[in-house]
Amino acid sequence: MLRYIIAFILLVHGLIHFMGFAKAFGYGDMKQLTVPISKPIGALWMITAFMFIVTVVLFLFKKEYWWMIGIVAAIISQIVIIMSWTDAKFGTIANIILIVWIIFDWKNHQ
């Protein structure tokens, strides 16, 4: 059950990253995001969103290498979150959950 909760949190976090992309490219009215986002950074938000989705799929299918994409996604995610800190700081919680889960999962495989 915990596995599905973690997957859900990561999926939602990944989907939220699409908001940064939408803000940068002017898709929709993103009143929640007050800090301007450039198009290159918006593209990074989108790439990160896809990386989280891939991480969730690999995680649910119990692929041993899921954490490799997950850790890169968390690092890039944290970088773009810091760039939009006032709007996105709570995304740090999902990144911490992912990193803790990766450590937990890695220790269990040792």
pTM for this prediction: 0.92
77 within 8 A of 13, measured Cβ to Cβ: yes
Q: What is the number of structural domains in the chain?
A: 1
The residue segments making up the domain with residue 31 are 2-109
Assess whether pLDDT exceeds 80 at residue 11: yes
How high is the pLDDT of residue 108?
76
CA distance 109 to 21: 36
Distance (Å, rounded) from C-alpha 94 to C-alpha 102? 12
Q: Within 10 A of 83 (CB to CB), how many other CB atoms are there?
A: 16
| Per-residue pLDDT tens digits for 45-61 | 999 999 999 999 999 99
The C-alpha atoms of residue 85 and residue 65 are separated, in whole angstroms, by 30
User: Would you say residue 3 has pLDDT above 70?
Assistant: yes
Q: Residue 73 CB: number of other CB atoms within 10 A?
A: 26
